[in-house]
Structure 1
Amino acid sequence: MAQVLIVGGGPVGMLLAAELGLQGIETTVVEKLTETHDEPRAGTLHARTVQSMLRRGYLPQPEHAYDEILEVPFHFAGRSILTLEAPAIEGPPMVGQSQADIERFFEARARANGAEILRGHQVISLDGGTVTTDQGTTITADYIVGADGARSTVRKLAGIESTCTPATFAGILGLATLEDPARCPGGWTHGRTGWTLINVNPMGPSRILTHEFTEPLPERGAEVTLDDLQQATSRIVGHDVPMEQPTFLGRFSDFTRLADTYRKGNVFLAGDAAHVHAPLGGQGLNLGLQDAFNLGWKLAMVLKGAPEHLLDTYHAERHPVAAKVIANTRAQAALMRPGPEFDPLRELVADLLSFDEPNSYLSDQITAQNVRYAPSGLVGSFLPNFPIGATTVSELLHAGRPVLLCTGEACDAAAGWKDRVDVVTHDLGRPAVLVRPDGYVAWAGQDPESALEQWFGPAA
């Protein structure tokens, strides 16, 4: 018996387990793999994920001036024409870290917070609040979260439909040794049939990605060989690129899937189980981790007595964010179509991104710093990491609890919620501001009692 059962122990599932364990929620994770696999997949943490991890104490507090902006060069649609930006006080705009290391980090946190991790178990049935694994284990839970990847068993067993768009390019990701690395172009290369992205390593395996737009495209899940990777690379680059000793080979594409709902009864979807898109801009892992930051505190609060309707906000908030990520990856794929008729469009986009405002607009999209959960104003925005006395906003959120920043009578009115909400005296130019555990502003005003009850249940 568990309060929350998470199916899938990748980075998203393990972060969710860590978040729930932090709140004392009895959590079980079921993962089919017996150990973490080191594969050359996602390896980028973007700014909003960095900022969220900072608020949970997973990263050290930055020591920068409050108004300083950090920048890193980045790519858009295969070209190095974008600059990612973020406030220095929030940490770097981008952190490079392998997906396997991220998974191990969150698994260690989940275990330390009391989560039970069952590796080597594949879910085969789902009946209400009970799942059964191929090892004969039966687990009953109040809530079940499918974080089990693009081919999610939970999504299928729960009968959750999805909206899909077909692929326009075929991609191969491989780790292989280049026989003549000096003749192989590094970084992004635009060729006759598509693009390559090659991290050339003359001393060992190189990371090679190909994106080809020639049809017919291979079937999804089709087997891939070293010869497939070598021929695709050679066609794009324009000359033979011999390679050997592959240590990893896999296919990808710009096929998209977006679950029509992230919640069906007591079943939720997170990460790739809810959304699939092309790995352009390194957004997929970050999108899933943000799902976990959004859902974890809501499940914990409801299990502690908050109103059930709080859980409906998960789909309402996260589904539109995934739709926008899917849209910008599809736009990048369209810009990457290799024909010369698209060259003027590529040059126009590059010219536009040389200006500050368009660059900031796309930077905030890729890094998710444009995400807000209300149309305008302070409510729904991500509260900046400004100083509060001897501490900061991020440090106040390390415990994963809501924070009410207030003065005078507003603080007094919150006394009945101090078992669930940290009340901090601070003047933000208004009587009270209610900050969610994920760092977004839930409410701002004069009398916090109705907002506290709406979000977190009646006073003690």
Structure 2
Amino acid sequence: MTVVIAGAGPTGITLACELARRGIACRVLDQAPRLFEGSRGKGISPRTQEVFSDLGVLDRMLADGMPFPKFRLYAGHDVVSEQTVSELLGVQPLRRSPELPYPETLLLPQWRTDEILYERLRELGGQVEFGTEVTGFDQDEDGVTVHTSAGPIRASHLIGCDGGRSRLRKALGVGFAGETLETERTIIGDARVDGLEGVFCHMFTKAGDIGERFSLWSMPGGEYYQFVATMPTERTPELTLDAMNRLLRERSGRDDLHLHGLRWISLYRVNVRMVDRYRVGRVLLAGDAAHVHSGASGQGMNTSVQDAYNLGWKLAAVLCGAPEELLDTYETERMPVAANVLGVSTRLHRLNFQRSTEPVAVHQLDVSYRGGPLAVDDRRTPGRLRAGDRAPDGLLDDGTRLFDVFRGTHFTLLAFGRRPDADFGSGVRVHRAAKSEGYDVDGDALVLVRPDGYVGVICDRVETVREYLERVSGTA
């Protein structure tokens, strides 16, 4: 029986890739006639780059993207300041190291991210059924009947990746608590610009008042810029090219800049909301369908992709015989992450591009599932690396990169000290490991890394590893 995924954005296609490379049949449905055409979610965090590396698409993204530009603030024609993302957030920039191969946020328009992910899905044998709307569903103990504009589909599970206005979320009747900032609206779009030089996030103001700005983001390739302007609800202009040029002249105090070739434009209000449940029986929610927030932190697409990455291997495992309870850990692990992201994005939204006096981390490398149901660490004295943490990159004794060892659908057992004399089955690959900076373990320690690159177990007993594998895969 197939899995049905509603929504062909980054969340839905990432999930489809995760299932497809595990041999799980799935159908991706989207009511739109084609992939999204705008640049909306343009920042790919260091942690999401690691996810995309595992999926086999990062090289394409690095080739087409560029490092995050500096923020340049203008007062009329004068440049007031230039700041890096790290300076704006009050944090030290990350440095490349054997444990951290991708320290910088990558700038890539969402339309290109979607294209690359879809290319990968097609390589894995999958497709998106465009122009097909999910209109409802009925579920029972054995599956879900998904009602669509093209007819009913019988599925094992239905995953709602259908965005902030999710029809599936509303049909499930789950809570979606939070707030809506009714006093302001944000216009965002893509256009060509005449009269602009330099690769920056150009923030134009008439007299240095950052609250009255018109931002033009340089994008890879240089042909299009993303424009962003926030304003009081009662002053929102028409969504036309002429209106955007008038707003640019009004806010910048300049007449030498001109927008043309409008590709995409949208108006949105900021919602800060999240569901109280990620799963109701055989129907699950992921991405913006489960949590929405300000785009100020650039966390939306990254959090959504990592929802899919967490859910994918678990859903595949359950469909291959793992205990059904494994799906409950998706909500347990991802809900606190979403709550934290909502807090970070709201704080940065209120800062309104003013320099933060307290450090704010947005790389998501520190996301951890410590203390959760899938984190087992039985050492008497835990080290810096704990079960539930992201497994760092590094090198094996023969020079092989750990991320290359992790890449794929399997579990990885790193054996520090002597290699265990045990067979854990085809779903686990065992590697002898030397001491490395990222793995502060002692003696004959065993570190089991999950398929999504998080440490599941740190222990010194083979039996502990076997018991864990029984819980998450149904095999020992």
TM-score class normalised by the smaller sequence: 0.7 to 0.9
Paired residues, number:
419
Secondary structure in 2 matching 1:370: coil
Matched, 1:198 2:216: yes
Question: What's 1:134 paired with?
Answer: 149
Aligned equivalent of 1:456: 473
Shift of the 265–76 alpha-carbon distance from structure 1 to 2, 3 Å rule, reads farther
In structure 2, distance between residues paired with 1:106 and 1:395:
20
Match of 2:411 in 1: 402
Do the aligned partners of residues 426 and 242 (structure 1) sit closer, same or farther apart at CA in structure 2, a change above 3 Å counting? closer
Q: Give the whole-Å Cα distance in 2 for the aligned partners of 1:418 and 1:164.
A: 45
Cα distance in 2, alignment partners of residues 259 and 206 from structure 1: 34
Give the CA deviation at 1:156.
1.6
CA distance in 1: counterparts of 2:102 and 2:286, whole angstroms: 25
Whole-Å separation in 2 of the counterparts to 1:57 and 1:205 = 27
Structure-1 residue corresponding to 2:437: none
Preserved contact between residue 9 and residue 30 of structure 1 (Cα < 8 Å): yes
Structure 2 residue corresponding to 1:381, chosen from 356, 366, 389: 389
Q: CA deviation at 1:162?
A: 0.6
What is the alpha-carbon distance in structure 2 between the residues aligned to residue 316 and residue 199 of structure 1? 37
> What residue in structure 1 maps to residue 64 of structure 2?
none
Give how far 1:228 is off. Answer: 4.3
**Alpha-carbon offset, residue 48 of structure 1:** 0.3
Counterpart amino acid of residue 40 in structure 2: R
Q: Percent identity, please.
A: 30
Q: Is the 8 A contact 2:20 2:124 kept in 1?
A: yes
Aligned partner of 1:366 in structure 2 is 362
What RMSD in Å do the two structures reach over aligned CA positions?
3.2
- The answer for the alignment partner of 2:376 in structure 1 is none
Query: Structure 1 regions of 5+ residues with no counterpart?
Result: 62-70, 338-345
Q: Tell me whether 1:207 sits opposite 2:222 in the alignment.
A: no
**Which has the larger helix fraction?**
1
Q: How far did residue 377 of structure 1 move?
A: 4.2
Q: 5+ residue gaps in structure 2?
A: 61-66, 74-80, 87-92, 372-383, 435-440
Corresponding residue of 2:41: 42
TM-score (norm. length: structure 2):
0.79
Match status 1:392 vs 2:409: no
Partner of 1:8: 7
1:85 matched to 2:90? The reply is no
Contact 2:386 2:458 in 1 (8 A): yes
Structure 1 position 231, deviation (Å)? 4.5
Residue 60 of structure 1, CA deviation? 5.3
User: In the TM superposition, what is the alpha-carbon distance from 1:401 to its structure 2 partner?
Assistant: 1.1
Q: What pairs up with 1:329-348 in 2 under 5 angstroms?
A: 329-336=345-352, 346=354
In structure 2, relative to structure 1, the CA distance for the partners of 1:142 and 1:75 (3 Å cut) is farther
Residue aligning to 1:123: 134
Give the deviation of 1:282 after TM superposition.
2.3
Contact 1:254 / 1:333 at 8 angstroms: preserved in 2?
Answer: no
**Cα distance between partner residues in 1 of 2:305 and 2:51:** 9
The equivalent position to 1:270 in structure 2, one of 286, 299, 302, is: 286
- Correspondence for 1:170 among 168, 177, 185: 185
Please give the per-residue CA displacement for 1:56-93, whole angstroms capped at 9, x wherever unaligned.
Answer: 443359xxxxxxxxx96656999835324253442342
SS at match of 1:406: strand
Query: Which residue does the alignment assign to 1:285?
Result: 301
Q: Greater CA deviation, 314-323 or 242-251?
A: 242-251
Of 228-237 and 21-30, more deviation after overlay is shown by 228-237
Q: Which amino acid aligns with 2:26?
A: T
- 2:134 matches 1:109: no
Letter in 2 for 1:113: L
How far apart in 2 are the matches of 1:407 and 1:85?
28
Correspondence list, 1:214-253, <5 A: 214-216=232-234, 224-238=239-253, 243-253=259-269
Measured at CA, do residues 285 and 72 of structure 1 come closer, stay the same or move farther in structure 2, by a change above 3 Å?
Answer: closer
